[in-house]
Chains A and B, each alone.
Chain A
Amino acid sequence: MPPRAGRRSSVRLLGLVLALGVLVAVVVLSIGFGARFLSPGEVWAGLWDPASPSYRIVHDMRLPRTLLGLMVGMALGLAGAIMQALTRNPLADPGLLGINAGASAAVATAAVFFGVGTFFGYVWFALAGAAIVTAMVYAVGGGRSATPARLALAGAALNATLLSYVSAVLLADTQAIDRMKFWTAGSLASADFATVERLLPFFAAGLLTGLLVARPLNALSLGDDAARALGARPAVIRAAVIVAVTLLCGSATAACGPIVFVGLLIPHMVRPFTGPDLRWLLPYTAILAPVLLLGADVLGRILGSPGELQVGTVTAVLGGPLFLYLVRAAR
């Protein structure tokens, strides 16, 4: 039914534009909220006009934080969506499956044993950690017998192992505990332009790979044989997905610590609207996941004032009940 399909995709396009509007609103909020509230007009002036009194606030503090949140949100959402497609498992989330914890474990190792203290040092370790756990999760969860619950349990066990390793490693070095405690909770607070710049290449590479596999992953969802008949190469696609997930999760975790649920919830909330077609699902996820992350960050700043609640805590506390709701609703 071509006409109906045409209408549906125009509705989806409209929805995408709306989602983009929401994202812009959240970005403005995220730049505006803080010790001194900036109105949207002041945010606009602060962005472009060096003479404006809000220019320094926006550029030194709020903008890098917002950009980092934007990138990390997109990265985690996209990683979750393509993991779910690859493992055909609706509960695949880089946080729940331990991929982010793998990156954290590697970063903690780097910080304590090798004295690494900067993002640029962390990120290689984080990528290695994420790669190992992604490969493991895939090895465990890629099989046909892997039910969602079993995969989630395997991930939870990995998660527990890795997080206990992180605290054991940090125990060896009390100064590291203090230095790393915000990072361990998952926080955007330490964002600056240098981190954003260094995250950018990894993030961009991951984003590009992630978006490019949308079409072949669609084919793969029909099964390996059908995908081959459609001209796709399953092994190449799987490798590309693992590379993309590693890049996205590794760099996001190196920048702001382990964050759960973002990659799980957004694809879930989007799917009823877009259907399983990744060519729609991925753009929606990429736009709405940062809405969740930045929204959680803003909420953390409001609830925690005069200090703040770490974004990792807010996503866990907000996302957790939603996850529980999904579990209850699923038959």
Chain B
Amino acid sequence: MTTVLDKPAARPRSIGSRVGVRPRAVVVGAAAALGAFVISVFSLGTGDFEIAPADVVTTLFGEGNPAHEFIIGELRLPRLITALLVGAALAAGGAVFQSLVRNPLGSPDMLGVTNGASTAALTVVILGGTSTQLSVAAVAGGLVATLLIQLIAGRALHGFRFILVGIGLAAILTGISGYLLTRGVQMENARALLWLTGSLDGRDWGQAVPMIVVLGVTLPFLLLACGPGLRMLEMGDDAASALGVPVPLLRNASLLAAALLVSFAAASAGPVNFVALIAPHLAKRLTRAPGPNLLPSIFVGALLLTGADFIAQHLLEDRALPVGVVTGLVGGAYLVWLLTTERRAGRI
């Protein structure tokens, strides 16, 4: 699928255009990455034991004192890395979904993938399972939901039918989740709701390592093998296949990769709302480039989630909020704004 990068014939002067690199996109990606790094340094430094930003940086490069090394390496870094990777994974998954269904609202949280993960995880919580079982169930649930949507929407995968099937499935799963919640007793429900909101509390290397593995496998695949094809696919199936893109294969492969990313993200931090919706959209607005904008989206996603988590930790004096509350509130506001502007522009 890597085959059909646009031939230099289109824009022969710049080598960058062959692989779709645009200066603006590079700037946006770099700025987002820098922002994520700055927030990371601050969130590694704050807590019950404050560490100065300079000390954080030296510790990160392995030259700090043992106390700092323990606090950062053992306590704070796993959570931060989980946040960065979950943000990146959600953003990448969202970018692929939005590109495939050709709609800025077509993110996996709207289309039932996240609901699949949460319904499966909820079942485990209600049955009193361990957190490993919960993670496995979440991944399986997300993948099964994606397969179901794909299966029901049929082979002729039109964007709108995929969207409607996804919405229908999401509604069914919401109903089932409601039932599951009524089955649990109070403590289980509190755990279940906390999980459903999305939280990074108490995340350790056990959550971070699977994310590293999944991102390590799927991201290169998406970026190198699917990215250029997805950009062509946005021009329409016919145009893309005329340009030599193997449309069904590309769709299925990128959909599977995106579903994997989103499901693993849900397994690590719960179904954190809206990052998958907002990050790609924001990236696209900033870069003004066509296509899924995978790389800028990833950095924007990491920035968003770490930023939201930082806010969630420090918003209230007396206690920390789950990160999903912040992304939910910010996301809701963004959504209202998105709906009005897109409406005005006639795209909705």
Contacts and interface: CB of A to CB of B under 8 A. Distances in A.
Interface of A: 91, 95-96, 136, 139-140, 143, 145-154, 156-158, 160-165, 167-168, 170-171, 174-175, 177-178, 181-182, 184-187, 260-261, 309-310, 312-317, 319-321, 323-324, 327-328
Contacts of A184: 178, 181
A154 B105 contact: yes
B105 A153 contact: yes
A168 B195 CA distance: 10
A73 to B, nearest CB: 16
A122 B170 CA distance: 27
15 contacts: A95-B171, A150-B348, A154-B105, A154-B348, A156-B170, A163-B174, A171-B194, A171-B322, A171-B325, A174-B189, A181-B189, A184-B178, A316-B178, A320-B169, A323-B164
Contact of B163 (A153, A158, A324): A153
A328 B152 contact: yes
A312 B189 contact: no
B161 interface: yes
Q: Which 5 A-B pairs have the closest CB atoms?
A: A316-B175, A185-B178, A320-B172, A149-B160, A313-B179
A160 B339 CA distance: 14
Interface string B318-348: 0000101100110110011001100100111
B186 interface: yes
B103 A150 contact: yes
A164 B178 contact: no
A164 B324 CA distance: 8
B106 interface: yes
A317 B182 contact: no
Name which of A95, A96, A161 has the most chain B CB atoms within 10 A of its CB.
A161
How big is the B interface, by class? 35 or more
A153 B336 CA distance: 13
Contacts of A150: 103, 105, 348
A151 B163 CA distance: 11
A177 B190 CA distance: 7
B280 to A, nearest CB: 14
A168 B197 contact: yes
Given A164-B328, A177-B190, A320 B161 contact: no
B165 interface: yes
Given A145-B346, A316-B172, A140 B339 contact: yes
B309 interface: no
A152 B110 CA distance: 10
Nearest to A311: B175
Contacts of B340: 139-140
Nearest to A323: B168
Contacts of B347: 145
A171 B167 contact: no
A316 B52 CA distance: 52
B313 interface: no
B190 A185 contact: no
B62 interface: no
A210 to B, nearest CB: 23
Given A185-B178, A310-B182, A96 B171 contact: yes
Contacts of A181: 181-182, 184, 189
Contacts of B181: 181, 184-185
B197 A167 contact: yes
A317 B169 CA distance: 9
Contacts of A309: 179
A135 to B, nearest CB: 12
